[in-house]
A and B are shown apart, each in its own frame.
Chain A
Amino acid sequence: MTRISEHPILGETEKGRRVTFFMDGKTIEGYAGEPIAVALKAAGVMVHRYTQKAHEPRGIFCAIGRCTDCVMIVDGVPNIRTCITPLVEGMKIQTQDGVSGLEVSE
């Protein structure tokens, strides 16, 4: 229950169309137009990338596109700030490892 279904002040959050996208090969659902990071958060994804040298996990920090902690590989392009990039149906998101995609064992 990460999504707020009803808010005491804001009521119901306006959401776009429900769409599927891919995260490290897995199929996940989200709402079109919301930030990728929000859709991932709703799916329980905390780690967006691992740092190149120390291989430390990073996730959402500022959520307004300033800190670049939440960058991932989106449709093959690394360093995309997922907190300000809108989700599009069928997007392929990869956990970033340094600047490459994290190797995922299927």
Chain B
Amino acid sequence: MKRYDLIVVGAGPAGLSAAIEAARCGMRVAVFDENAKPGGQLFKQIHKFFGSKEHQAKIRGYKIGETLLAEAAEAGVEVFLNATVAGIYLDKELLVQRGEVMEHFKADTIIIATGAAENMVTFEGWTLPGVIGAGAAQTMMNLYGIKPGQKVLMLGSGNVGLVVSFQLMQAGCEVVALVDAAPRVGGYGVHAAKIARCGVPFYLAHTITKAEGSNCVTGVEIAQVDDDFAPIPGTEKHFDVDTICLAVGLSPMSQLLKMAGCNMVDDPRRGGQVPQVDENGETSIPGLFAAGDVSGIEEASSAMIQGRMSGLAAAAYLGFLSEQDKDNRLADLEIALDSLHQGMFAPGSKGKTIAKTDEGIAVSQSLLKKGYLDDADLERFINRSDQTDKKSGIHPVIECTQNIPCNPCQDACTRGCIKVGKTITALPRIDAANSCTGCGMCIASCSGQAIFLVDEDYAPGYASITLPYEFLPRPQKGELGIALSRSGRPLGYAEIIDVRSAKAYDQTTLVTIKVPVEQAMTARFYQPETNAAGQ
């Protein structure tokens, strides 16, 4: 029987982070993962992450995955793939299936980082081929380069539903509607705004009543729901689709912890059956830890910090790290984790209705119901006297209206035009005392694609708007297309006057359009005319 100082189950963001920290302390570490490739779900995450520098904000998920794998290799972590941990027994003995063989391993400490599984909902026809999980859609398009479908309806307006909807469009699929039984969008408003401005209609307080088709999905019927989530007869709507995507939450895959005999609790706020853990992830069994989604659904950024914390705690448990060093290093990680737990979407805010931002501004109800800011919201958030740059010329317009832990825009602007301040969840403010050079770094650094550069004085009667663009084909300078509003409504012709790509923009193209000056604060997206004609 092979023996390790630490065995980590799961080679996702939490597990790899834990293994790296422990191995750097001198521990002999093995990681088992049932999949053929390491990285968990990170390699399917092609969007830029939120957070601050220490959370690797504005870096795309798959690149964070590449960094973790390199660090694990360098630290001497042994990663076993196609290795399913089938059981944990007394004294930290593990049973592992590799191919046709069952093997026993012995660990002195164990970290369970098995992540989460997707939830599903049932409706008539939900088992038809063509009804898929949002994770399946990501796997197909972002790992294997294949479209999950041509016309897709998304159920679920949490961050997964919103992010995957955008990724579906990036892959060339049409998203016909975003549906959620809840009365409000569950995920970040900036993610919702990205898909709303592409013209995707939001149906909140709606649910799927049936998937249509005999051998596979050919259509879907949705209906409005009442306060008890029951469909209201007579409100049914039909869409022709070949794919229905379900993004209805995640549940911790905590079975191994239960099997090991850890004290478990049923905590709906953490996503279901989760282990009782201390602040470093240690369960009721000394030396056995849980990190990442398995001990409560959050996201990859906090999973990585939790992983590192449990890795250090495991090292200290076996004496590879002094108690004092452990305390010092954990203190920093706790601050980083704590900052991710702030704001409107913090774990503690789950289920609460928030009426005002921390700044005391009434939140946008339009954003929560339709996915975009309306005119009244602009008055409150954007056109405030202290937020308007009175000088002529180009200036940033930041449509970030919810308190979320994210601040790369502040670091991106070398001119000091954008201020978030020490509180990472504060709304970014424009400092009109400094002048914008139009470099565009703020646009590319905003993971929510919520920053635009506007110049009302571009030419007599015309304004220029620079916006983030992550679709193909990339527009060409001189091209004529359609300017779209925040709701995706065509406003008229727009001319492409500049297209910028740079390594520092990381695959985000900065497209500058010329529109009539009265559209300076309404035009927020660009559609090539060929697409417009095709729809």
**A residues at B contact (CB < 8 Å):** 1-4, 6-10, 13, 15, 34-35, 38, 41-42, 46-48, 56-66, 69, 83-84, 86
Contact = CB atoms under 8 A, between A and B. Distances in A.
Interface of B: 34-36, 46, 60, 62, 117-118, 127-133, 135-136, 139-142, 144-147, 170-172, 215-216, 470-472, 474, 507
B35 A7 contact: no
A34 B129 CA distance: 20
Given A3-B147, A59-B216, A10 B142 contact: yes
Nearest to B140: A63
B133 A34 contact: no
Closest A-B pairs by Cβ, 9 of them: A59-B129, A13-B145, A63-B136, A46-B216, A46-B129, A63-B139, A38-B144, A8-B472, A9-B46
A86 to B, nearest CB: 8
A69 B131 CA distance: 11
A50 to B, nearest CB: 10
A60 B136 contact: yes
A7 B170 contact: yes
A56 B55 CA distance: 46
B171 A84 contact: no
Contacts of B60: 9
A9 B118 CA distance: 25
B216 A57 contact: yes
B129 A58 contact: yes
B507 A48 contact: no
A84 B46 CA distance: 21
A61 B132 contact: yes
A35 to B, nearest CB: 7
A10 B46 contact: yes
A2 B146 contact: yes
A1 to B, nearest CB: 8
Contacts of A8: 170, 470-472, 474, 507
B145 A7 contact: yes
B140 A84 contact: no
Given A61-B133, A64-B135, A9 B215 contact: no
Contacts of B471: 8
Given A6-B472, A46-B215, A47-B215, A60 B132 contact: yes
Nearest to A6: B472
Contact of B145 (A15, A57, A59, A69): A15
A4 B170 CA distance: 10
Contact of B129 (A2, A13, A42, A60): A60
Given A9-B470, A60-B136, A62-B133, A4 B147 contact: yes
B136 A7 contact: no
Contact of A84 (B35, B130, B172, B507): B35
Contacts of A41: 140, 146
Nearest to A66: B117
